[in-house]
Amino acid sequence: MNYFIINIGKTRLTLIMLLFLLPSFAWSQADRKYIRQGNREYSKNKYAESDISYRRAIDKNRESADAVFNSGDALYKQNKFEDAGRQFVKNHEMNDDRNKKSASLYNLGNSLLMANMVKESIDAYKGSLRLNPDNMEAKYNLAYAQDLLRQQQQQNQQSRDQDKDQKQENDDKNKADQQQQEQQQEQQQQQQQQRLSREDAERLLNALANDEKNVQEKVKLAKAQKAKTGTLKNW
């Protein structure tokens, strides 16, 4: 009797454990179902539909790192590079396997590169290679991104030099225009002063001419009076 009771107790305990495990198993099966569906859609280039399926898998199992990774791939194929990058970051944080973490960083580097975040993509590729040094694609993309960054830096430097030269040219032109304006103003002042000087000279000459005319008239008048006086004396 005691033996029977002990067996019943163990059986009940086992059944309870199974009841707790069944929902988890069902959820796991559900998320794999949606992942497989997403993979089929992805293989047919139906990237938007595949992303929906991967997200349904995530809804069923928040710990499904594969669904998160595949969602990032589907977003990448839709040119949603920033959204894809966020999924690869999540996948990197969810995984413990070095190769999978390396793969997530490699895809993150691709997403960042396509989003024109070249410097950040270099860091992602380096992180991927630290986890998996044999990833030749990461090595190639790292070299490409580093070369692209150098080109961008050279172009930016050339642009800054051109802006500096343009600014210097504008400053020189403004300075030359200012000097020309000052010269024109000075010439106008000189011309005005010359006009005033000629006018003053003309007024002075006119005054002198009037004075001379007055003097001559006075001389003539004096001679006339003298002549008249002489005549009176002789008469």
Q: In the CATH scheme, what is the code of domain 2-156?
A: 1.25.40.10
Give the residue extent of every domain in the chain. 2-156
What is the per-residue pLDDT across 172-199, written as a single tens digit (0 to 9) for each? Answer: 888 888 888 888 888 888 877 777 677 7
- The tokens describing 90, both together, are 């999540």
Taking only the tens place, the pLDDT of each residue in 59-74 is 999 999 999 999 999 9
Cβ–Cβ under 8 Å, residues 68 and 100: no
Q: How many CB atoms lie within 10 A of CB 44?
A: 10
C-alpha dihedral, 115 to 121 to 124 to 129, nearest 10°: 130
Question: In terms of Cα–Cα distance, which of 53, 153, 157, 69 is closest to 105?
Answer: 69
Question: Among 83, 81, 62, 70, which residue's Cα sits nearest to residue 41?
Answer: 70
pTM here? 0.61
Burial class (CB in 10 A: 0-12, 13-18, 19+), 141: buried
